[in-house]
Amino acid sequence: MSVLHIQTPLIESRALSALLGRPVWLKLENTQPSGSFKLRGIGHACQWHVRQGATGFVSSSGGNAGLAVAYCGRKLGVPVTVVVPETATARAKELIRMEEASVIVRGAAWDQAHRYAQTLASASTPLIHPFDDPLLWAGHASLIDEVAQAGLRPDLMVCSVGGGGLLQGMLTGLDRQGWQDTAVLAVETEGAASFQAALQAGHPVTLSSTATIANSLAAARVCDAVVQAARSHNVRSVLVSDAQALSACQRFANDHRMLVEPACGAALAALYETVPAAADAQSVLVVVCGGVGVVRV
């Protein structure tokens, strides 16, 4: 059974390299068939469950994860039900249905949709979590494997953080390659800084609320594993504003003729704004995570 994700392009950003005065590389996860990095881990998890006898999947996501599960279900020939919150956009629901999945709207926010999705899951129809699952992290780690295979070893990697699945997958990949000394810039928007709150507290905490245009980052709590893993890696937490994330989306579109959602713009903003946490890096790689939530800026 071949993997469901593709090996994505790795290119140098001449615009960001000129801005920062050092090489900046882009890992273009926005070119995945489902439009985001989520397909790596979710594809890995879905294929594992099918080998165990699963005959369908349930997902709790109004965006990238739900779309990735729907894509995997169609490719694997099994039915998928995606439970989305009321905040899910019409476009996201349309894209999920385009992948032949059923969509149920339940709850004002993701956690409520997730609780309902749990009631639909069974041994034969497992719930595919959007970010908190070792199967996902193992799949996301393939991103680092591809960078290594390309002969590139940047000393700083930059990614956006929502629930922490991508970051945990990258740390898993760094361990797999023996690159524990590689620094990682973990970027959140100011209105959804659950990872930074966890680092400051020394353990995961649940934010009372989130408020950000970067909906894909609006997780009130990150997974426990990523807080633990961050202690043994050089992980630097950075916050950007919604305005900076949107500006980065626009600048990236101008520089590279590609549209990405604000959640992806957050990681790009850390470089476009030349944050101090990236100042000591000699070479940088940023994960262009993609996403269905592209907005006109």
Domains of the chain: 10-37+135-288 (3.40.50.1100), 38-130 (3.40.50.1100)
For 171, the enclosing helix (H) or strand (E) is helix 165-177
Token pair for 139: 């799949």
Summarize the chain as % helix, strand, coil (round to 5).
Answer: 45, 15, 40
Prediction pTM value: 0.95
Task: Match 């590279």 to its residue by tokens.
Answer: 256
The count of C-alpha atoms lying within 13 angstroms of the C-alpha of 91, restricted to the half-sphere facing its C-beta, is 6
Give 237-281 pLDDT, tens digit per residue. 999 999 999 999 999 999 999 999 999 999 999 999 999 999 999
DSSP code at position 13: -
| 3-state secondary structure (DSSP) of residue 1 | coil
Distance between start and end Cα atoms, the chain: 41
For 116, the enclosing helix (H) or strand (E) is helix 110-120
| 3-state secondary structure (DSSP) of residue 269 | helix
Give 76-133 pLDDT, tens digit per residue. 999 999 999 998 889 999 999 999 999 999 998 888 999 999 999 999 999 999 999 9
Task: Match 């520089």 to its residue by tokens.
Answer: 255
